[in-house]
Amino acid sequence: MSTGKTERHVGKPVDRVDGRLKVTGQAKYAAEYPLDRLAFGALVQSTVSKGKIKNIDSSAAEKLPGVVCVITYKNAGKIPPKPLSDFDDSLHLLQDNVIYHDRQTIGVVVADTFETATHAASLVKVDYDEVAPNVVMDKNLAKARFAGNKKESTTKRGNFDNAQQAAVFKVQRTYSTPQEIHSPMEPHATTAYWDNGKLVVYESTQAIFNTRNKLAKAFGVSPADVRVITNFVGGGFGTKLMTWSGCILAALAAKQSKRPVRLALTRANLYGNTGHRPQTVQTLSLCADKDAKLLGIRHDCVSSTCTFNDFVEDGTEASVMLYRCPNVVTSAKVVPLDLGKPIWMRAPGHCPGTYALECAMDELSYEAKIDPLKLRQINYADKDESNGLPWSSKSLDKCYDKGAELFRWHERNPVPGSMKKGNRLVGWGMSSTTHPTFRMKASAKLNMNSDGSVSIRCGTQDIGTGTYTIMTQIAADTLGLPLEKVAFHLGDTEMPEAPMSGGSMTAATAGSAIHAVCEAAVNKLAAQAGADKQSPLMGAKLDDIEAVRGGLYLKSKPETGESYSAILARSGSGSSFEVSASAAPQDEAEKHSKHSFGAHFAEVEVDPELGTIRVTRFVSAVSAGRILNPKTAGSQVKGGIIYGIGMALTEELIHDEKTGRTLNADLAEYHIPVHADIPNIETIFIDEEDNIVNPIGVKGIGEIAVIGVAAAVANAVYHATGKRIRDLPITLDKIM
C-alpha cells in the first residue's frame, strides 16, 4: 500500500514528541506516581558474602514510630505459593536464611516515609555463620565448565589445527574484561498496590508483559489480574529486562501492609541485586596466509557466573561470522563465583567478545605488516559463513570507506609511538562492529477520531531511546497525517501485547506492528470509500489509492479523494472507528542472515609521563537498514560510544578478595565517563534498503554502537605507546 510522496516524516531528525513532558517534569517515572496512604520500602542487605543467617532481630526497627512492617524470611510466606518449575530460582525472595553474595536482599522495611524506612532498615540486626567466599576469577579458572554441566558448548567448521600448521602469520593472545554494572540514570523502582485481589504495579522495566507474568506466578493469580504500567524508563541497558526481587517484594509488602508501597532502590542497592556484566577471560588464536587472508580462528571464552544460576556471556558470536574464514572453532564456559547473578548488559556477549576479536585482528595486522583497515577489507565476508546464508543486506564496506575518509585514516603513520601532539603521544585505532537484527511478534490497536486524528496503542516500552517519536513518525507516514494528528501510547499491559525492549529489536518489532495497524486502517477505510456511492473514490481499487494529506486520494489524480473525517462522517462510525493488527517475522526473512554493521575509528592522546589517556576524537560509521530518525539514532550511537569508552578506560567492579564485598558500590568510586571525558563524536549512517529484514526495513542500532568501541580505543593506545594492554580497563598504572 503506497503512502504517498508528501508529508514524509520517517528519515527526518524529528524532535522527541515526549521531550516537553520530560524537560518540564510532567513525565512520570515509576517512583513518581502519587497514591493515597502511600508507604515506602527500604531494603535490608547482607553484610557478608557467603553463609547463613543465624538470627535476624527486627524489634528495634518495628518499634520505630512510622514503621508499618518488617518482612524477612521469617514472615515472608511462600513465594510462589505453589511449586512452579519455570519460576526464576535466581531471585532472592526471603524464602530462607542462605546468603549467596554480598548485598543480597534479606529484608524489607515499610514505613510512612522513605527516611523512616531507611533509618529503620539500619536498625535491623543480623548474626551470621560466615563462610569464606570465592570471588576471584583468575584463582578459579580451573573450575571452568560448560553451562548447565553440558559436555560441550562449541561451534566448529573446517579444521583449525591444519590451518594453524599451514599459516604464515599467527597470533595467540588472552584478553580479559572486568565485571561492569549498568548504571542507568533511574535506579530500579516499583510502586505497587492491591485492589480487590488485583495487583497494579508502576515499574521501571524493559519488559512489562514479562513482569506481569512473573508477578502473577509469584502470587498465584491470573495474569489478567496483574497490570504493569511503565510510561517512561530512565535507562535500562539490560538490567531492567529481568524482574528482580525488589519488584516482587514491593508487591508483597503492599499485600502484607494493605497499603500502596513504593520501593525505589538507592544507587548502592543496585550493586549485587540487579545484575552486572560478567567478567571474561578470552583466548584468541588467529592465523593467516602470506596475503593476510584468514585461515583459522579459535576463540575460547570463559565468563563468571553465580553459584545458584548459570548465566553465560558467550563472547564468540561475532568470531564465527564477521570475517571470511574457512576454519573456526569456539567454546564458551563459565566459572561459578560467590557473587550476585550476572545478566544481560548492552550487547551481551558481543561487547566483550568483539573487544577480544578486534584487538587480536589489530595484533595480526602488525604481525603481517599490513594496515589494520586493509586487513579487515581483505577478509570481508560476502555471506554469513556460520550458517551459509546470504545477508539480507550488508554495507560494512561502505562503513569502512566513509568512516576512514571522515577520520582521515590515510594520514596515519603505522609505526607505534611515531605520532605526537606537543609532549603527548597520539594513537589511531579502529575496529569493526556487528550485531544481529532480531524481531518478534507485536500487536497494536488504532482508534480514529471524527476529525481524522488517531490514537494508537502498543504495549511496548520507551527506555529513553525515542520509541514514542519513531512510532509516531511511522504512523504519520503510513496514514498520511501530520505528526500532531497522531497520539502514540505505550507501556501498559492492558494494551495489545509486545515483547521486551532488548536485543535492539523494538523499532523493528513494534514499528512493524504500528505499520501493520495503520495499513489495516487505510485498507478498511479505502474499502469503505470504494463501496460508497457518495465518495469520489467510488469503485476505486486499493492499489489505486494512497494515504496523503489526512485522507485517501487517487494516485493517478492526486486532487481526487477525500479526508478521513469525511469518510467517517458518512459511515456513521464517528469516533468509534477501531482496528487491530499484529506483525510477526516471515519465513522469507529466516532464509537470510540479518545483521547491522559498522566501523569505529578512535584517536587517543597519552601523556607519557603521567600515563593518562584521553580519547580526543571518535568517528563511527553504521549501516543499520532504514534510519527512522537520524537525531534519535545519532543519540543512540553516541551513547553507545560513551558506554564503550567507559568500558575501555574506567569501568570495573572491584571486590575484596577475602570478604567478597563490593569495594566501589557508588558512582564516586565506580567510574563512568563524564562530559569532560568525551570528545567530539561524529556519526555516519549508511542508509540501506532492506526489503527482507522486516516490512519497514529497519535494523537494531542500540547495541551495535557499543560493540568494538573498547577495541578501537585499546588499539589506539597501542599505536600511541607501543604497549599492548589486554586487560580492561586500561588505567594509567598499566601504561606507566
**Catalytic site positions:** 703
Query: What residue spans of 308-407 are helical by DSSP H?
Result: 350-367, 372-378, 396-407
For 33-69, what is the HEC assignment?
Answer: CCCCCCEEEEEEECCCCCEEEEEEECHHHHHCCCEEE
Query: What residue spans of 531-585 are helical by DSSP H?
Result: 564-571
419-421 and 327-337 beta bridge pairing: unpaired
Q: Which residues contact 308 (CB under 8 A, 6 or more apart)?
A: 89, 90, 100, 341
User: Is the distance from CB of 707 to CB of 357 less than 8 angstroms?
Assistant: no
In the block, cell 505499520 appears at 515
User: Is the distance from CB of 437 to CB of 505 less than 8 angstroms?
Assistant: yes
Helix/strand/coil for 605: strand
**Nearest CA-CA partner of 639 in 616, 661, 663, 620:** 620
Cα gap 80→82, rounded to integer Å: 5
Cα gap 124→107, rounded to integer Å: 9
Strands in 169-177's sheet, in edge-to-edge order, are: 154-157, 327-337, 294-306, 280-288, 169-177
In the block, cell 522486516 appears at 694
Query: What residue spans of 576-692 are helical by DSSP H?
Result: 630-649
Q: Identity (one letter) of the amino acid at 658?
A: K
**Nearest CA-CA partner of 628 in 564, 687, 555, 588:** 687
Cα gap 384→624, rounded to integer Å: 17
- Cell numbers at residue 66, please? 512510622
Torsion-angle region of 452 (φ positive above 0: left; ψ -120 to 50: alpha; else: beta): left
Cα gap 112→179, rounded to integer Å: 37
Q: What angle do CA 478, 483, 486 make, to 5 degrees?
A: 75
Q: Which residues contact 80 (CB under 8 A, 6 or more apart)?
A: 87, 217, 218, 219, 220
Helix/strand/coil for 548: strand
In the block, cell 546470504 appears at 390
List Cα–Cα distances, 528 to 142, 474, 477, 535, 569, in angstroms.
70, 23, 21, 9, 12
Q: Which residues contact 32 (CB under 8 A, 6 or more apart)?
A: none
- Per the DSSP assignment, residues forming a β-bridge with 287 are 170, 296
**Nearest CA-CA partner of 189 in 107, 112, 102, 114:** 114
